[in-house]
Chain A
């Protein structure tokens, strides 16, 4: 028997092909679009009803979220409790989510109960009541949660960062304040609902054990609903490319840690440099072995975690570094962050590190294709930008071919330190 050489790594292969499960797209009788991604071995379904009704579309903070949350709090025919009881008795779950661009109502159900559950989904999407009493409860409880969040340095830093980045006049930067809860009115919510929750502004994504019956059930439920034929007015607003050299430091009494956010506006996924930026951002702080993690966590122990990311919005994009560090090492940590950004601009990434990041990213992409629900997210992440699957194939191509030279160019073009916004909440001196 040969002796095992434990110092020698086993042979490995780079992920060569990734199979993307593409949806089948159909229309209900009235034209509502349904995308189906069928797969997996469980008899379960996840159905997303996605409306272009996210934060971008609101004029006042909180309205988009409140509208989405209140849908299930009572309808023309059912009380909030009837709906909760109706959904719970079939073991189904709702999830409502409002992001910067879209508002989604998701229902998770065993396939065998789809029809039973859709009865309630139809009610809440088409006939919500927006009851005064439910509204007040929602408002008070959300305010309580907001106040708790305001005690967290990470929450404060994130909000301040968005406000500084986009400006308070821009919907992405118009972050909520305590007063906004008092000013939130049912009439604004109803107005928002009537404007944005028409089924013509909705696309349905069904994933899991999707069959012909699933489509029939959806068609029976929503296919005869009258929908608006004229397109819904969606606001356009340009985002000013500001020069950020700003440093915003907010003291929070008694803070044991400071939350740091550093970043700037960046191209979103429609831009040809997006993939390169994504790869560069991964090298800097996008995985456990990233440079920021290695430096400020694994070498210096300043933090429990640090990361960075590139976020794509429909009308903008941004890059951010985020961490919470020991209050006494705040200044030192910030210095190390800039040092790492500077290295990206001055020293070429070694082939070894680049190969590692390439393989990591491909493995990660493979993981994000694991199962129909994840495939549905991948689809949603491109579809609402008007992109198709060539996007992911191009991403794979860029990962495989990118060179250290291209990365240093990208770093110099986009990551100039004097263009970065810096927000610190906690102990700031």
Chain B
């Protein structure tokens, strides 16, 4: 149970406070409700490029990192298709520095040409390092547009192509900031050995004079229901063949999410899981295999991916995956097997709650999904999942007409 208090400033900034007396460190997590899905199709990679620019100095403070490091703090950020999340860890005595820095960059950025030029280059190098100069690095650049035809999940956070980053102008950057970086489009979570009244005071002092704005109403193109099997084969200079099967699944707030997540655990979490045992150990068809869900805000993907063992054909490998899926559909799941993955969930949750930063992030995501208290009620939702639920979901989503398959062949 993670206890927390919640209040909202007059400008609409939501603030959540979790008290943890056991640690000298405070986590300061500021989530903006904007991600790659909010980008224009001709300007992809923008939310992420923008995240980089948030470190290029703000209206009153020329450098973000230095003053923070000077008080013993540390920070980073990440962008996903749904959100942009900034976080700081800092000794509790110096917490106010985090308020000072992050409120100033919410107020306005410095918008220097130099920062834009350099971060554009840095992001291009990031693109090369993680997507182009790695074996299998371009998988998501291929799989997303195969699985999504209309919805902006069809491009990756890094962007569709490098030229979009290259062509970003200062005006585009400013427009993006004023449109999305608003107090009423953000959630702040403070976790650590802190007092609620002190946090209220600091929040008001630093954030309350920032003007709210009109948060754009999100009206994203809806992905049409998939009715046909999709396949793409590519050839690359990689050491082994790989296969990726992406099935459409519900979004993170749908009641079926928990059963879907447990279904993926049954398939591949731990060495006793079905795919590991059958396809790696017994049949030796794969050297590596995984099943996982994307807990995304809009309808997501249930992915099964694996690297084929040497000499195994794509036909045999894929048939074996499908065979395991068919087994689950045909009532092979036992109560004991379901209990096992529930126990894994319980223990993963307990271990994740040892870090104030993880707790702060989880509170922010839960609030974004409707209510911070979801982090306390989720355990129960996982526990209530039944064998029948899992079978129903498997029958509903793990079907060929709901699947996009990427065959990644070595040359």
Residues of A that sit less than 8 Å from B by CB: 4, 6-7, 9-15, 18-19, 39-44, 72, 80-81, 83-85, 87-93, 108-110, 137, 140-141, 144-145, 147-148, 150-153, 254-257, 287-289, 297-304, 324-326, 355-357, 359-360, 362-364, 366-367, 369-371, 373
Contacts and interface: CB of A to CB of B under 8 A. Distances in A.
Contact of A257 (B129, B269, B281): B129
Interface of B: 22-25, 59-61, 65-67, 69-75, 89-91, 93-94, 96-97, 99-100, 103-104, 107, 117-126, 128-130, 132-136, 205-206, 209, 237-240, 269-273, 276-277, 280-281, 284, 287-288, 307, 309-310, 336, 339-340, 343-348, 350-351, 353-356
B72 A141 contact: no
19 contacts: A4-B206, A4-B209, A6-B61, A6-B100, A6-B107, A9-B97, A12-B71, A42-B351, A85-B340, A88-B340, A89-B340, A91-B344, A140-B310, A144-B307, A153-B133, A299-B118, A301-B124, A302-B125, A370-B25
B402 to A, nearest CB: 29
Contacts of B96: 10-12
A363 B136 CA distance: 38
Given A93-B347, A137-B280, A147-B240, A363 B287 contact: no
A257 B287 contact: no
A351 to B, nearest CB: 12
Contact of B272 (A14, A88, A108, A150): A88
A151 B72 CA distance: 38
A370 B24 contact: yes
Binding site of B, secondary structure by majority: helix, strand, loop or mixed?
Answer: helix
Contact of A85 (B69, B72, B89, B272): B272
Contact of A141 (B70, B288, B336, B346): B288
5 closest pairs, A vs B, by CB?
A: A363-B72, A301-B121, A91-B343, A84-B271, A91-B347
Contacts of A89: 272, 336, 339-340, 343
Contacts of A83: 271
A88 B60 contact: no
A366 to B, nearest CB: 6
Given A13-B94, A288-B69, 16 more contacts: A4-B209, A9-B67, A12-B94, A14-B72, A18-B24, A42-B353, A81-B281, A84-B271, A89-B339, A91-B343, A110-B346, A140-B310, A288-B74, A289-B69, A300-B121, A359-B70
A59 to B, nearest CB: 27
Nearest to B73: A363
Nearest to A44: B350
Contact of A81 (B91, B272, B346): B272
A137 B348 CA distance: 28
B271 A80 contact: yes
A360 B347 contact: no
Contact of A88 (B24, B104, B119, B271): B271
Contacts of A324: 125, 129, 133
Nearest to B101: A9
A287 B121 CA distance: 20
A37 to B, nearest CB: 13
B399 to A, nearest CB: 28
Most buried by B among A39, A109, A137, A300: A137
Most buried by B among A44, A88, A362: A88
A301 B122 contact: yes
Contact of B122 (A18, A303, A364): A303
Most buried by A among B59, B66, B209, B309: B66
A88 B61 CA distance: 51
A298 B118 contact: yes
Nearest to A149: B135
Contacts of A11: 96
Nearest to A352: B70
A141 B280 contact: yes
Contacts of B129: 257, 304, 324
Contacts of A289: 65-66, 69
A325 B121 CA distance: 11
Contacts of B119: 301
A257 B125 contact: yes
A85 B280 CA distance: 15
B89 A367 contact: yes
Given A10-B97, A81-B272, A324-B129, A148 B135 contact: yes
Given A151-B238, A153-B133, A325 B125 contact: yes
Contacts of B59: 6
Contacts of B93: 12-13, 15
Contacts of B277: 81, 84
Given A141-B287, A144-B240, A301-B122, A40 B22 contact: yes
B288 A145 contact: yes
B314 to A, nearest CB: 16
Given A6-B100, A367-B74, A140 B121 contact: no
Contact of A256 (B132, B348, B353): B132
Nearest to B90: A363
B117 A301 contact: yes
Nearest to A252: B133
Most buried by A among B70, B273, B309, B347: B70
Contact of A10 (B100, B281, B309): B100
A360 B287 contact: no
Contacts of A80: 271, 281
Contacts of B307: 144, 148
Contacts of A326: 124-125, 128
Given A255-B133, A257-B129, A326-B128, A84 B94 contact: no
A221 to B, nearest CB: 20
B281 A39 contact: no
Contacts of A150: 239
B36 to A, nearest CB: 18
A7 B310 CA distance: 62
Contacts of B73: 363
A392 to B, nearest CB: 15
Contact of A356 (B69, B103, B133, B206): B69
B72 A360 contact: yes
Contacts of A144: 239-240, 287-288, 307, 309-310
A356 to B, nearest CB: 4
A59 B287 CA distance: 27
